[in-house]
Amino acid sequence: MMRALIVDDEPLARDRLRRLLGRLGGIEVVGEAGNATEACVAMRQIPDLVFLDIEMPGEDGIQLAHRLREADLPPAIVFTTAHADRALPASETAPAGYLLKPIEPAALTAAIERAARPNRCHQSRRPTLTVRLGREELRLGPEHVVAAMAEDKATHLYLLDPADGRRREAWIEPSLNELEERFDGQLLRLHRNSLVNAAQIHSVSHHDGQHRCHVHHLDEPLMISRRAWRSVRDALEE
């Protein structure tokens, strides 16, 4: 199942594309946007695929595509337009497809198949974690994780909202071991009950024979076990 974002300033065009995608299957539309500003907010869902209209007021689709290519988790892009003469400028962003309106189902299917093929962008993608906060669903890269603590047979996650950077909290099912494996060493073990993003550590203190880790966005320091102290020290020295 691929996650898709539809960006088009025409509501009818968005509705038609959503209906076509619903008939094809294999695509979950996680958001819609009518301009580049709304699209950047919707990108917090970290879609795999963006259907991007070229002609939009303000920042056009080609300009937006260049920005999306700089994202930590760049999506595949399929341009949609009524103007065939925009294909050449659009090709500079290396899109997965280019669809002329009105979009035909066969052309849409072919574009999705191309977008699903592994490419350098897909291969460079870092692992993500999906977290639900009420009605919201966020997909987090390792840079959005502050720390995680095992509590009451669940994991208490402190995170930075991908949209605005504010600290938030969530209870998730994956264990600390699963988080370590998923992010492949990008989270640092402090204790058998805690992990931290090394980039969020601002200092380490020592008191009464116990090392403590002071972390940005956390109110209280985290204890560092004797077993973990050497790896924490080495990580900070790097």
- First-to-final CA distance of the chain: 39
The span from the CA of 99 to the CA of 222, in Å, is 52
Return phi, psi of residue 198, to 5°: -55, -30
Residue 163 has pLDDT above 80, yes or no: no
Average pLDDT on 178-197 reads 91
What are the pLDDT digits (tens) for 35-56? Answer: 999 999 998 888 999 999 999 9
Could you check whether the bond before residue 162 is cis, i.e. omega within 30 degrees of 0?
Answer: no
The span from the CA of 154 to the CA of 160, in Å, is 19
What are the pLDDT digits (tens) for 105-127? Answer: 999 999 898 888 755 444 445 67
User: Among 26-30, 182-186, 192-196, 230-234, which is the least confidently predicted range?
Assistant: 182-186
